[in-house]
Amino acid sequence: MPLIAIAQNRRMSDYMESVRRAGGEPVEVAAGGESPEHLLARVDGVMLTGGGDVDPMLYGDAPHTTFQPAEPDRDAFEIALTRAAIAANVPFFAICRGMQLLNVAMGGTLIQDIPSQVPGALEHSVPEPRAHVAHEVWVAKGTRLSELLADTMEDGETCHVNSRHHQSVAKVAPGFEVTATSPDGVVEAMEMPGAVFCIGVQWHPENFWRTGEFRSLFEGFVAAASARTR
């Protein structure tokens, strides 16, 4: 059973259950523990989770008035872990803040506040119920994401997602491509072509573990982790 490192946040249960149901063994990791190098020597995959905002100083921007910082030391730890994992081609799955962190760690930037900075934006922050469908996303054909969501999409390119974020990807990091957007143009997913598995999604697929709409994402991730040799 592959060991999956999950970046610690305040609501871990759905992430851990999603990994378990996909056949993985989850382990929480956080700043103040072992180094990224030691961690990657014993795990088979890395998952980044939701949480507070990534420090805008990390991508050369001043904080917006809505800035809500993540837990202390979380940015530094997760950036180091991300860069080490990507360099080693470790299977990597990033969710919500996790996708934003991935983008920043690899050289991209963020929109700091969708409501005030994206004209005509949809409602992207629907906190409860956590599996409530907020809007649709359009998935690019021929991508790994499209392949994994084939049974979820209604017409081969559209699926409906929940949403709890006020930030999003602006400039995409070098080496990555956008694989899904919402109708207002907000980036909803990205992936790294050529990687064994490196996908980020802006919604929260872990909240659907009871009904299984996005189980294929976790199954694809865990399958890639299972194939890793250390």
Pairing, β 177-181 against β 187-191: antiparallel
The single residue listed with the structure tokens 């700043």 is 31
The single residue listed with the structure tokens 């921007």 is 61
| Distance from C-alpha of 214 to C-alpha of 194, rounded to nearest angstrom | 22
The catalytic residue among 78, 96, 124, 166 is 96
Q: Is the peptide bond before 129 cis (omega within 30 degrees of 0)?
A: yes
In 3D space, the residue among 85, 89, 88, 124 whose CA is nearest the CA of residue 102 turns out to be: 85
| Distance from C-alpha of 14 to C-alpha of 187, rounded to nearest angstrom | 23
The catalytic residue among 124, 165, 166, 204 is 204
The catalytic residue among 78, 136, 191, 206 is 206
CA distances for 142 relative to 111, 136, 202, angstroms: 27, 19, 19
Active site residue 96: yes
Catalytic residue numbers read 96, 204, 206
